Structure 1
Amino acid sequence: MQLTEHRENTLLLAPDSPAKECWFDREWLRRGNHIDGHSDASGRNPALFLKIDGNHYVLRHYYRGGLPGKLIEDAYLWPGLNKTRAYRELKLLEQIQALELPACRPVAARIERQGFSYRADLITERLVGCRDLVGALSREPLSEPRWIQLGQVLARFHRAGVYHADLNARNILLDNEHIYLIDFDRGEMRNPDRKWQQANLDRLLRSLRKEAQRVSGLKWQESDWSLLLKGYRQ
């Protein structure tokens, strides 16, 4: 990870990253027609899709959630650079890439410190041609081999000790062949342990049940979960 400091801003670059600080400037992105859409996530703060020099990226700003987010939208208490959310997520993504696990490649992060607080953004490569699991299930059911494949992917992350803090159906992307995990904010490397691994799986199951109630016609049923577990236990 390469680090560049300018006044109160710190730019973090992943290895071989072409990113520049202007990539985080919304006005520069608009003037150059580099904004190529945004995520269709149900949250109130979608990520921006970027296209720069023919390459596709995702720019995500860190927002506070829950009750604190209603009072202070995106400012966090300054904990030291290496404990900021952007620094930790970028570093984790670099570790995930080194483990050759299926996730988006890290590009850069920017941290803007203002006294005792900071704001931050993260850029990753965009997985073009993918849709999230909810979007996929809105169109058609997943086949038995695909559910087994998903379970196998989750097992790979767990065996490697990768903890995903928000494992839900919208943070799983798939195309016709591959399955990826995205959004590792607040994730970390842990010693493999059945307790947190089971909690991760339980969180995903709750997410699928919630989406089945929220999205009309979602092509998911409880028996699909047993197929996922079959792949996970293999």
Structure 2
Amino acid sequence: MRINMQIKQTPSGAIAYCDATLETISTQWFTYDYWLNLSAITGSSKGRYTTWFVKPDISATDESEWVLRHYYRGGLMEKLSKDSYLFTGLKNTRAVAELSLLELLYSEGFAVPKPIAANVERNGLYYRADIIIERVDGAQDLVAQLSKSPMSDTQWQQLGACIAKFHQRGVYHADLNAKNILITPDKFYLIDFDRGEIRNPNPKWQGANLERLLRSFRKELAKLPSLAFTESNWQSLMKGYSQA
């Protein structure tokens, strides 16, 4: 059953959220200072920019955490505007589009983070955006995993089968790389579906998706020669993919 996404208008734009119990949500929830004042910042992940981990209920006894991510441009467009995008409708914004895709996949049982909320703030013809998802408990990305220890052939095949399941559903991941795959003790997850979409399954884009992933493994291996990745590992992944 689909999660029922709710839309809440704000003075500067709108918030989309996937749980009716979050009706008190405000734009403050999408700021670092809000969580800092609650002493709820639990960590961060640093790439080109920082993604924050927060504990939504500091009085709760469980370990659930959220991931707060702001949308930034990359490539040549970054030189023109670091985080501003042309507004062509709420559903077309990167944040709401990603939240909607995650909502669909999560409801269908795919291994993706649970979607929480997205924030869109308009300024004339342009907007800035943020997203909150649930942090996958006990997970680390594949680069972190392979920098410490290798995966078994069975795990590589399981990863291939996981990717195949997404492809068979028509899920296009715009940035399928080793850091956007998480591993837990029992399964793999795909994360960061910015610019992702549902497409008609087609060997051309599916093959390009896999080639992008292979390039990312080779790139990480060039940076860290001790990374536990070999071409044989890739063949095991492809075996799992083709047999899924």
When normalised by structure 2's length, the TM-score is 0.92
Residue of structure 1 equivalent to 2:53:
49
1:9 is aligned to 2:13: yes
- Tell me, yes or no, if the aligned pair for 1:17 and 1:107 is still in contact at 8 Å: no
**Where does the alignment leave 5 or more consecutive residues of structure 2 unmatched?**
none
Question: Structure 1 CA distance, aligned partners of 2:144 and 2:8?
Answer: 38
Question: Structure 2 CA distance, aligned partners of 1:215 and 1:73?
Answer: 29
Question: Structure 1 CA distance, aligned partners of 2:178 and 2:209?
Answer: 12
- Tell me, yes or no, if the aligned pair for 2:42 and 2:55 is still in contact at 8 Å: yes
1:164 is aligned to 2:173: yes
Q: Output aligned runs, 1:77-92, within 5 Å.
A: 77-92=86-101
Question: Structure 2 CA distance, aligned partners of 1:121 and 1:175?
Answer: 26
| Pairing partner for 2:162 from 130, 153, 173 | 153
Q: Which amino acid aligns with 2:37?
A: R
> Which deviations, in whole Å up to 9, do the C-alpha atoms of 1:44-81 show, x marking residues without a partner?
20210011114300000000001211231101111111
Q: Which amino acid aligns with 2:223?
A: R
Question: Structure 1 CA distance, aligned partners of 2:234 and 2:104?
Answer: 29
| Pairing partner for 1:20 from 12, 17, 25 | 25
| Pairing partner for 1:36 from 42, 45, 68 | 42
Deviation at 1:216, TM superposition (A): 3.8
Deviation at 1:26, TM superposition (A): 2.0
- Tell me, yes or no, if the aligned pair for 1:93 and 1:105 is still in contact at 8 Å: yes
Stretch deviating more after TM superposition (222-231 or 16-25): 16-25
Question: Structure 1 CA distance, aligned partners of 2:110 and 2:242?
Answer: 18
> Which deviations, in whole Å up to 9, do the C-alpha atoms of 1:4-25 show, x marking residues without a partner?
0022220100144637223213
Number of aligned residues: 232
Structure 1's consecutive aligned runs of 4 or more residues displaced over 4 angstroms after TM superposition are none
- Tell me, yes or no, if the aligned pair for 1:48 and 1:59 is still in contact at 8 Å: yes
Residue of structure 2 equivalent to 1:120:
129
Deviation at 1:128, TM superposition (A): 2.1
CA-based RMSD of the aligned residues comes to: 1.2
Deviation at 1:161, TM superposition (A): 0.8
Stretch deviating more after TM superposition (123-132 or 21-30): 21-30
Percent identity reads 48
Stretch deviating more after TM superposition (169-178 or 63-72): 63-72
Question: For residues 209 and 17 of structure 1, do their structure 2 counterparts lie closer, same or farther at Cα, with a shift above 3 Å needed?
Answer: farther
Question: Structure 2 CA distance, aligned partners of 1:28 and 1:57?
Answer: 14
Stretch deviating more after TM superposition (86-95 or 25-34): 25-34
- Tell me, yes or no, if the aligned pair for 2:164 and 2:242 is still in contact at 8 Å: yes
Question: For residues 71 and 104 of structure 1, do their structure 2 counterparts lie closer, same or farther at Cα, with a shift above 3 Å needed?
Answer: same
Q: Which amino acid aligns with 1:157?
A: F
When normalised by structure 1's length, the TM-score is 0.96
